[in-house]
């Protein structure tokens, strides 16, 4: 059982980090003091936390105090942002590097173990981009979540059509292309005539009007029609939220731009369906000064994913191998007879 106040003897134990000068090597602490803050259910800006400019119980900025933090899930984000805004050098520690604490595991023992490792200079902070890039990353992840939700509602619409014996997918390759939404909205509005629905086809549809009309002869059960209507409404709502998210992403990228030039004319590529409606290629070039879309395999939908995760400044990575490893692009080392998950390292990245 962990004790809140206990004296820990460190006599005869001297460790010095090789990268630290002898004059700045931290001496081992001789006592521990545990003091709960009671901020679990409070906002980071609540009066429960003292102001950053005031003297903290552990130290102050002038005393060279470096906060460190290990926390599961996303509970650490609010406190991390609060301390980072106060000009602290905050370290987000990987749990793999500090899990070898002896005895029974508890939050108090973890804090004591972290403090001991930090005093010897044995902790290394995980990579976390700048605050502006973090905001862009949150918006990019929100957009990806909306796209996944929109694709699920497309599956719901296809299921409702199949349950009504409407085989629209046999004559139209994309249910949510140019022709599919028109037919679906007409069905939701109450149209049941197959020829009237087939007349809504686009000129690029190769199927004939008779083939489309035969595929639209269904049972028209009321419960499946209701499910189709709700799925279509949810699909439209995701489209509206995607447009709003694209506006926020464009605004955030403009805040991070460093140059005003435009990229050189590159290869003409087909426009991706899920790409934002604004000129994303120019905005990304003004943000990082390099046209990433000129690389093979990277288009306007791939480049913002990379930049929103790591940002334009790659100086935090010692080499390109470190960057590829952090992105999870390195092949997994799986030995025969072992069940190691190749995505385990990627799951350890902080949110």
* pLDDT per position as a tens digit, 277-322: 888 888 888 888 888 888 888 888 888 888 898 888 888 888 888 8
Comparing 20 with 129, which gets the higher pLDDT?
A: 129
Which pLDDT does position 314 carry in this prediction?
A: 86
Comparing 57 with 307, which gets the higher pLDDT?
A: 307
What pTM did the predictor assign?
0.74
CB neighbour burial string for 3-32, b if at least 16 within 10 angstroms, e if fewer: eeeeeeeeeeeeeeeeeeeeeeebeeeeeb
Q: What percent of the chain has pLDDT over 90?
A: 27
What is the enclosing helix (H) or strand (E) of 284? helix 280-288
Which pLDDT does position 105 carry in this prediction?
A: 72
Which pLDDT does position 71 carry in this prediction?
A: 57
Q: Which of 78, 81, 101 is nearest to 90 (CA)?
A: 81
Alpha carbon 32 to its chain centroid, in Å, reads 37
Which pLDDT does position 295 carry in this prediction?
A: 82
Which pLDDT does position 18 carry in this prediction?
A: 45
**How much is the mean pLDDT over the chain?**
77
Q: What percent of the chain has pLDDT over 70?
A: 72
Which three-class secondary structure state does DSSP give residue 73? coil
Which of 12-21, 44-53, 92-101, 261-270 bottoms out in mean pLDDT, i.e. has the lowest? 12-21
195 and 213 in contact (C-beta within 8 Å)? yes
66 and 88 in contact (C-beta within 8 Å)? yes
Confidence of residue 149 (pLDDT cuts 50, 70, 90): very high
pLDDT exceeds 60 at position 97: yes
Which pLDDT does position 103 carry in this prediction?
A: 67
pLDDT exceeds 70 at position 48: no
CA torsion sign for 141, 143, 149, 152 is: negative
Task: Report how far residue 329's alpha carbon sits from residue 343's, in angstroms, rounded to the nearest whole number.
Answer: 10
From the CB of residue 103, how many other CB atoms can be counted at a distance below 10 Å?
9
Which three-class secondary structure state does DSSP give residue 172? coil
257 and 286 in contact (C-beta within 8 Å)? yes
- Which tens digits make up the pLDDT trace of 69-83? 555 667 778 878 888
Instruction: Taking residues 168-179, report their average pLDDT.
Output: 88
């Amino acid at each position: 059982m962990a004790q809140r106040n206990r004296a820990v003897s460190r006599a005869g134990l001297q460790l010095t980090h090789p990268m630290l000068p002898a004059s700045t090597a931290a001496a081992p602490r001789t006592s521990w003091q545990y003091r709960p803050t009671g901020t679990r259910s409070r906002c980071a800006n609540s009066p429960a936390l003292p102001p950053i400019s005031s003297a903290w119980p552990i130290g102050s900025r002038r005393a060279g105090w470096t906060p460190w933090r290990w926390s599961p899930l996303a509970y650490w984000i609010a406190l991390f942002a609060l301390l980072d805004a106060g000009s602290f050098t905050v370290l987000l520690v990987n749990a793999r590097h500090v899990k070898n604490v002896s005895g029974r595991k508890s939050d108090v023992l973890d804090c004591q173990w972290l403090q001991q490792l930090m005093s010897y200079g044995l902790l290394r902070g995980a990579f976390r981009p700048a605050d502006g890039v973090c905001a862009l990353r949150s918006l990019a992840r929100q957009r990806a979540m909306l796209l996944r939700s929109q694709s699920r509602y497309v599956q719901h619409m296809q299921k409702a059509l199949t349950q009504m014996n409407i085989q629209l997918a046999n004559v139209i390759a994309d249910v949510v292309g140019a022709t599919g939404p028109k037919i679906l909205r007409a069905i939701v509005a109450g149209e049941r005539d197959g020829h009237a629905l087939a007349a809504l086809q686009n000129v690029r549809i190769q199927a004939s009007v008779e083939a489309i009309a035969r595929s639209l002869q269904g049972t028209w059960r009321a419960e499946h029609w209701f499910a189709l209507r709700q799925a279509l409404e949810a699909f439209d709502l995701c489209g509206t939220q995607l447009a709003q998210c694209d506006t926020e992403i464009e605004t955030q990228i403009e805040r991070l731009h460093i140059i005003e030039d435009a990229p050189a004319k590159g290869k003409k590529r087909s426009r991706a369906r899920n790409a934002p409606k604004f000129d994303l290629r120019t905005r990304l070039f003004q943000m990082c000064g390099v046209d990433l879309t000129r690389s093979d395999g990277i288009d306007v939908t791939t480049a913002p994913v990379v930049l929103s995760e790591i940002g334009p400044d790659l100086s935090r990575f010692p080499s390109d191998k470190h960057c590829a490893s952090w992105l999870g692009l390195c092949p997994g080392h799986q030995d025969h007879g072992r069940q190691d998950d190749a995505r385990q390292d990627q799951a350890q990245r902080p949110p």
